[in-house]
A and B are shown apart, each in its own frame.
Chain A
Amino acid sequence: MSTNGDLVELRLFGPLREVVGKKLVSVPYAGLTVAEALVRFADEQGESVRPMLFDSRGNRLRSLILLLNNQTVDQLETSRLRSGDVITVLLPLAGG
């Protein structure tokens, strides 16, 4: 069970927003690292979301921009999320 103190927000763009159906998702991920949060999110959202974040071997896609509170994250594996943090996930857009 989550309390408000656990909540971080995921801000979604592009095809990810399409698939999830929301631009902002509140998830009880405080305490996880950014990398762990993405794994958890893919696990919870299921097979439509996973390929937008991970390849078939579970490696994070190299075509993602991940931001923590609007800053690029150097240490995805060690930066721990705090309540109220916002993770932004961007995929490149091909359209022109």
Chain B
Amino acid sequence: MSDFSEAQIERYSRHIILREVGGKGQSKLLDSRVLIIGAGGLGSPVGLYLAAAGVGTIGIVDSDAVDLSNLQRQILHATTDLGRPKCLSARETMEDINPDVCVVPHQFHLDSSNVLDVVADYDIVVDGADNFPTRYLVNDACVMQGKPLSHAGILRFEGHVTTIVPGRGPCYRCLYPEPPPPGLVPSCQEAGILGAVAGIVGSIQAAEVLKLILRIGDALVGRLLVFDGLEMAFRSIEIPRDSGCSVCGDRPTITAPIDYEEFCRLRGGTESKPEVQS
């Protein structure tokens, strides 16, 4: 006999009705643990949909406080949250939506010293970070621990999404072996972002996570989905795993998490001339 309460049966009825979900699938969701990196533009829709879906334990890594300029897209937070830690604001919003969900705040900066410990506690990781150092850090940690990772990046009207399942397809470094030189790719802070684009791309990440937990459908493994919000078009690009990848390849050279600064020093050390950055 299922151990759903009457309220749960009603709350999750539209899931349970789905042939691919059912009561068993809903139980899997309630038993699962997902880590969201960043309670920002991507982390907001992901957090909202995972909480609403009844993902039982959701960790949130964010060391920032809610700023007025966040509210145009970061829909986990409200005007009354200004100045509060995003972790706590996010927890309140998500637990309000669904009291079945336990939100675990990780209110610190992720770096090479703590990333493995944090990731180890979860089944699946969602990258909604706003900077390259964190993205490489999270990718490397997930590959090292064999954790599936939903990756997305957004800028202006554009979004990229892919799902990384270590051992089954390429990782972030297979796509982009090294981060671009600092300053080359602007941040949302510099170049702007249409709030709804974050919503679209983050919602795709949420759907990917739910599918992974439920083990249904085809994940975006080996595919990069490129969304162009001005054209309103999606392009799916097949990306092979790189057997020479420095972290997931046959002979990995990166075997412990490294910080971006260290990464840059490593590069500088192997090359004769320092990079000139504009």
- Mark A residues whose CB is within 8 Å of B: 13-15, 18, 23, 51-52, 55-57, 61-65, 67, 70-72, 88, 90-96
- Mark B residues whose CB is within 8 Å of A: 38, 40-43, 127-132, 135, 152-156, 158-160, 175-181, 184-188, 191, 193, 198, 224, 226, 228, 231, 235, 237-240, 273, 275-276, 278
Distance A84 CA – B38 CA, assembled complex (angstroms): 42
Given A56-B275, A72-B238, A91-B185, A65 and B224 contact (CB-CB distance below 8 Å): yes
Q: Are A96 and B130 in contact (CB under 8 A)?
A: yes
- Shortest distance from the beta carbon of B146 to any chain A beta carbon, whole Å: 23
Query: Within the complex, which residue of B198, B231, B237, B273 is in contact with A57, where a contact is CB–CB below 8 Å?
Result: B273
Main secondary structure of the interface of A (DSSP, over half): loop
Which of A23, A52, A92 has the most chain B CB atoms inside 10 A of its CB?
A92
Q: Are A94 and B130 in contact (CB under 8 A)?
A: yes
Query: Within the complex, which residue of A56, A63, A72, A90 is in contact with B179, where a contact is CB–CB below 8 Å?
Result: A63
Distance A15 CA – B273 CA, assembled complex (angstroms): 26
Given A14-B155, A51-B184, A92 and B235 contact (CB-CB distance below 8 Å): no
- Shortest distance from the beta carbon of A87 to any chain B beta carbon, whole Å: 13
Query: Within the complex, which residue of B128, B179, B231, B237 is in contact with A92, where a contact is CB–CB below 8 Å?
Result: B179
Nearest-neighbor residue (CB-CB) of A11 within chain B: B235
- Shortest distance from the beta carbon of A38 to any chain B beta carbon, whole Å: 15
**Residues in B neighbouring A67, C-beta threshold 8 A:** 237
Distance A14 CA – B158 CA, assembled complex (angstroms): 7
Give 6 A-B contacts (CB < 8 Å), ordered by A residue: A14-B158, A15-B155, A55-B275, A93-B158, A95-B188, A96-B128
